[in-house]
Structure 1
Amino acid sequence: MKERETWKNGLEFLFSCIGVSVGLGNIWRFPYICYRNGGGAFLVPYFLFLAMIGIPQLLLQFSYPQYSSSGPAKAWVCCPLFKGIGYAMILTNSVISLYYNVIIAWTLYYLVNCFTLNLPWSSCDNIWNTDNCYFRTSEWSSMTGNASSYDTSVSEEKILKTNETVSATDGKTATEEFWTYNVLQLTDGIETMGTLRWQLLLCNFSVCVIVFLCVFKGIKLSGKIMYVAATVPYLFLTILLVRGLALDGALMGLKYYFIPRWGELLRSAVWFDAASQVIFSLGFGTADHIILASHNKFHHNIYRDAMIVPVVDAFTSLFSGCVIFVTLGYMATTFQLDIDKVVTDGPGIAFMVFPEALSTLPFPQIWSTLFFLTLLVVGLDSRIVMIQVLTGSLSDLYPGLFRSRVSWTSAVVCLVTFLLGVPFVYQGGMYVLQLVDWYIASVALLLIVFLESSVLSWLYGSQRLSEDIAVMIGYPIPKFWQVFWRFITPCCILVVWVMSLVKHKPVTFGGEAYPVWSVGVGWIISLLPLMPLVGNIILTLLKQEGNVTQRLQQSIKPLPEWTRNLQSDQNSGPNGDILLSS
């Protein structure tokens, strides 16, 4: 049987971890959350939770898969009673990967449309535009005289001749209409799915093909690709930032982004958002880092990497925010708007607000291409690892069948995820995507992260975990990490989980509530990852003998398979230096 692959060197692992941590949320979620929750003041709870949750949990996630050289499907033999945690992670990852692929497909669709003589979202003269479409320009602002009125055409001549204006609440910008009526061709609700958007289907398939070409040779190929994929976005973002700083209003945008509003720290929601951003940005609960660490050589220094990855992730979020807000400041200045009117969250900033700003610059095709290339690359980084979680788990469960057939396994997984993602590219697919995204993290994901932290630190044992890490890296880690694992980190995660349940509201889209039946489907989706967890606990206890206490004691003992993986490292020292045999 073919041995499990390991990274050629530690940098491939590090760049892969950075690639999967730095995702779309860093660009379109963090800037808005930072601004909404006190600007620079938000950085206080954010970095606090980065130290209390991010680094300790990531170190924990690196440790047990590297020690066992097993992914989420096998590593939990360290505590058989909770082996279902690994399966729950895989299931959560699978659901997220279905619609994450579609989000990347949207990006690809925009990228293709950047290679046109006139950007299709920069005018109201297209077949999909309505009578209430408008395109904001500096001339528009000066001619209308304020930000609350606009003309229904981009034609300056028509503005001068007719001066036909209408309240801005009655219309949509050209970029909004391109997004709603061209990209999505959105229906009235989830009850009306409409027809298949073949352009998005083609983009979705293209993304699957690109991902397959990155993973079909296993980590030997994907590790090398990550060198480029994890670094190129910083180059693109830097170019966009330099260009943005030269625009009018750029400094105003940065002030809105960074000036602290200390009073906001008195709101519990700010602290909740900070903790949630750390947990979701680092990808806890989806096994991404677990599958990557499982391919490490036994003596790889995970302690060092666990310090680096969260810091790089935080830096990227801050840096991306600078790029976004210098552009939003430019929009506010050019269109004579309050910056509150152009700041938005999620896909809105990526597919409506930012493209609108870039379309007003000289050579808009260049800047739009750079922006959507950035989104495409950071999205592909995460998507590549999502596929590796599935292929790696299959290889761990059935090594004789899948480990020597990496290409075929990758092809089948990519094809299946593509087919299961078809509902998301219907005209009503956005409603389905919103429903799944809203509920998949509402209950299961945070609970999975809490159980992972608690089970490993209390049942497997924080002292034993520290000793395992010391054996791998060659020196003991400080004892205060055990305090974090046992008390601080799980308590913080538990509080976030409870608050998420308390604050939870039924899903809406555009302010409209979903029908009752779809909310019920949403709750089924939210509880779906917990089914293998509960089922495994029941089956494991039934297999044991004795009374309840004896069954529990037997069920939390590591199985014989829980052994150190020495593979190619059995003759090497903690730093990878070859030891001379006697």
Structure 2
Amino acid sequence: MGYKCSPSKNEDVMNNANYSVNYVSWGGCAYSVRFFSKTPPDLRGAGCPLPCTPMVCVVLCSILAEWCLLSRGWDSSLGSQEAGTPSRGSHLRAPLTRSFPKHLTNTSQPAGAVPGGREVTTVTWCSSRCAPHPAGAFLIPYTLMAVFGGVPLFYMELALGQFHRTGAIPIWKRICPIFKGIGFAICIIGLYVSFYYNTIIAWALYYFYSSFSGTLPWASCDNPWNTPDCTNYFGKSNVTWTNFSRSPAEEFYTRKVLEIQKSGGLYDIGGIRWQLLLCLFLIFTIVYFSLWKGVKTSGKVVWVTATLPYIVLLILLIRGATLPGAWRGVVFYLRPDWGKLLSTAVWVDAAAQIFFSLGPGFGVLLALASYNHFHNNCYRDALVTSAVNCLTSFLSGFVIFTVLGYMAEMRDVEVEDVARDKGPSLLFITYPEAIANMVGSTFFAIIFFLMMITLGLDSTFGGLEAVITAVMDEYPQVLAGRRELFVLGLITVCFLGSLSTLTYGGAYVVKLLEEFGAGCSILAVVLLETIAVSWFYGIQRFSHDVKAMLGFTPGLFWKLCWVAISPALLAFIVISSLLDQPPLTFFDYQYPEWSISVGFLIGASSFICIPLYMVYKLVWTPGSLKQRLAVCIRPEKTTRAPQAEGVGMAPVL
């Protein structure tokens, strides 16, 4: 396989060359992603053949796409601006893929028009959620959720944001005013995510700092924080592993990083770990100075956060494939286990993987797509990004499971015994433990935790940008020209809200917020968002808007997904997850019943904004009840975006 950058023959915009990044695959198949730039470099003759394997081709293509965009200073979240149209990108970071949240986000988060950080976030957080499920069976619900849920809703949010050109709160005036509470719910969920997600980045920063040593501190049991239960079985054949045994990596995480032994649980979370406080302060400082001026500052940061994770992913993939026992992890990863399909947890994890990697419901897609060129091909963006995202998610599983196979080989146990760990246990215990016993452990530890930090920052950028855009668009008279102060206030709120996660029992709080702050509630918000757009705004009206932007109407498949299939899948997942709540545990700690009630209150506190705003809207709208309902569900034409003024309002049905 090889790749090359070449100029396209078609020129759609005067003075704006249309360039393609062509990926030529085995068997002569090829696909290309087209980009626009006002000042592209001359790429003629820049053919650069590079041999690679199927497992790394998507990673290499993604790196190339990011490089081609960044080297031209192109902002994929902005697209090309229409002549005479003021840019909405003056305070937006680039590119559109930054949601990590992770994505990333991630994470966080963000997703968008070209491959980026959120797909790679699956190497860490999302892959850890899916580690207990062999991919042979997991791929079935994962694919179904992607095809009938994730991708259609990704496409829908890109189209909504691009057409109406505003954030997650005021956009509902232009869709269905009575559902404006969805925008407030999205912002509250974004705050909850920032309360715990940045603490996880702070943990990674602490590990990153600790990695700068000749011998990694979690490689042996000869440290002051170790207990008599510490057992290092690597390279030793006469070591007996019992139920009370603890690895050096586990004790470093629990007794050194968290110092969780000083907490009695949620009843007594203890004082604040000042080392973690400093790490979190540094993280939020980076976030603030990356967002306060928007693309002016974050456009420089994205050079690192967009490309470095792919490079590290490739290095870890190659290293993992050369480890003894790696094949055991690959076999476990690809082995079908059809009985797993009967487990609700598999379907819920598949939905979580899709929605947290693609990002619908977090407001990131709405916010970032609102800066796109009005006629940007968001349909192509949705398909290309989702495809690369899912392929990278699948390939990133090899990074995780080759190491799990290596761990199983060293422990002389089955891979499923190692793969039971998920979440922080996999990221901060299992994987670091494997790294500590590799040749060149310091190097691999540094790049691994550096990747986690950059991925986390990427998702945080996108998640907070969604909140910033939504609030500033909702209150332009108050916040216009005061972005720096508003971002400072928002970062301060997020920092103060994270203090409880920095205590000795902070890991218990992180687990609680992760489980309830953005779990079922975000899926319920996406469900109502889909219903509001498809049933109340009207699928015909929405299709009319898409045709005004792209020149063609969405096909029958997309309409069926938006109207029926996606809402049905989301309703099934929400109801199943509510009815089948497994006991909440963290290591050996069993969460008390009152904490579960608190968790449900946290989840409900965001979702409750939707019915509360409905009541508020109906009460304050004049007229009879029938007249009020008619006004509350009818889009306010006076609030439409300037580019949409010439587009007629299609009927609902």
What is the CA distance between 1:69 and its match in structure 2? 1.2
What is the CA distance between 1:301 and its match in structure 2? 1.5
What is the CA distance between 1:24 and its match in structure 2? 4.2
Answer yes or no: is 1:331 the counterpart of 2:407. yes
Partner in structure 1 of residue 577 of structure 2 = 500
1:224-243 maps to which residues of 2 (within 5 A)?
A: 225-243=301-319
Of 214, 220, 238, the residue aligned with 1:143 is: 238
Amino acid at match of 2:596: V
Partner in structure 2 of residue 276 of structure 1 = 352
Partner in structure 1 of residue 155 of structure 2 = 59
Amino acid at match of 1:562: T
What is the CA distance between 1:544 and its match in structure 2? 2.6
- Per chain length, whose mean CA-contact separation is higher, i.e. which structure has more relative contact order (CA < 8 Å, sep 6+)? 1
Q: Deviations over 1:45-100 (max 9, x none)?
A: 21122010011101111122221211012101121111111111111111111111
1:366-405 maps to which residues of 2 (within 5 A)?
A: 366-405=443-482
Q: Deviations over 1:149-173 (max 9, x none)?
A: 1xxxxxxxxxxxxxxxxx5211211
Partner in structure 2 of residue 176 of structure 1 = 250
Partner in structure 2 of residue 538 of structure 1 = 615
Supply the distance in 1 between the matched residues of 2:97 and 2:397 (Cα, whole angstroms). Answer: 23
1:220-369 maps to which residues of 2 (within 5 A)?
A: 220-223=296-299, 225-343=301-419, 344-369=421-446
What is the CA distance between 1:431 and its match in structure 2? 1.3
Supply the distance in 2 between the matched residues of 1:65 and 1:247 (Cα, whole angstroms). Answer: 46
Answer yes or no: is 1:475 the counterpart of 2:571. no
| Change over 3 Å in CA distance of 1:218–1:442 after alignment to 2 | closer
1:127-206 maps to which residues of 2 (within 5 A)?
A: 127-138=224-235, 140=236, 142-144=237-239, 149=240, 167-186=241-260, 187-206=263-282
| Change over 3 Å in CA distance of 1:468–1:224 after alignment to 2 | farther
Supply the distance in 2 between the matched residues of 1:12 and 1:441 (Cα, whole angstroms). Answer: 24
- Contact preservation (8 Å) 1:300, 1:472: yes
What is the CA distance between 1:10 and its match in structure 2? 12
Which is further off, 263-272 or 329-338? 263-272
Supply the distance in 1 between the matched residues of 2:429 and 2:596 (Cα, whole angstroms). Answer: 28
Supply the distance in 1 between the matched residues of 2:636 and 2:532 (Cα, whole angstroms). Answer: 15
What is the CA distance between 1:216 and its match in structure 2? 1.9
Q: Which runs of 5+ in 2 are unaligned?
A: 1-84, 99-109, 647-653
Which is further off, 291-300 or 360-369? 291-300
| Change over 3 Å in CA distance of 1:261–1:532 after alignment to 2 | closer
- Contact preservation (8 Å) 1:23, 1:382: no
Partner in structure 2 of residue 121 of structure 1 = 218
Supply the distance in 1 between the matched residues of 2:169 and 2:176 (Cα, whole angstroms). Answer: 12
Aligned residues, how many?
544
More helix by share: 1
Amino acid at match of 2:506: G
Partner in structure 1 of residue 24 of structure 2 = none
| Change over 3 Å in CA distance of 1:225–1:299 after alignment to 2 | farther
Partner in structure 2 of residue 6 of structure 1 = 89
Supply the distance in 2 between the matched residues of 1:301 and 1:452 (Cα, whole angstroms). Answer: 22
**Deviating runs (4+, > 4 A) in structure 1?**
7-11, 23-26, 266-269
| Change over 3 Å in CA distance of 1:38–1:23 after alignment to 2 | closer
What is the CA distance between 1:9 and its match in structure 2? 12
RMSD: 2.4
| Change over 3 Å in CA distance of 1:23–1:413 after alignment to 2 | farther
| Change over 3 Å in CA distance of 1:419–1:425 after alignment to 2 | same
Supply the distance in 1 between the matched residues of 2:303 and 2:155 (Cα, whole angstroms). Answer: 22
- What is the DSSP-based 3-state SS (H/G/I as helix, E as strand, rest coil) of the residue aligned with 1:194? coil
What is the CA distance between 1:204 and its match in structure 2? 0.4
- Percent of aligned positions that are identical: 35
Which is further off, 77-86 or 525-534? 525-534
| Change over 3 Å in CA distance of 1:40–1:172 after alignment to 2 | same
Q: Deviations over 1:149-198 (max 9, x none)?
A: 1xxxxxxxxxxxxxxxxx52112110000000011111221111112100
- What is the DSSP-based 3-state SS (H/G/I as helix, E as strand, rest coil) of the residue aligned with 2:95? helix
Amino acid at match of 2:435: L
What is the CA distance between 1:417 and its match in structure 2? 0.9
| Change over 3 Å in CA distance of 1:272–1:208 after alignment to 2 | closer
| Change over 3 Å in CA distance of 1:244–1:122 after alignment to 2 | same
Supply the distance in 2 between the matched residues of 1:177 and 1:453 (Cα, whole angstroms). Answer: 45
Supply the distance in 2 between the matched residues of 1:40 and 1:518 (Cα, whole angstroms). Answer: 36
What is the CA distance between 1:393 and its match in structure 2? 2.2
- Contact preservation (8 Å) 2:128, 2:423: no
| Change over 3 Å in CA distance of 1:521–1:181 after alignment to 2 | same
Q: Which runs of 5+ in 1 are unaligned?
A: 150-166, 571-582
Of 194, 200, 220, the residue aligned with 1:103 is: 200
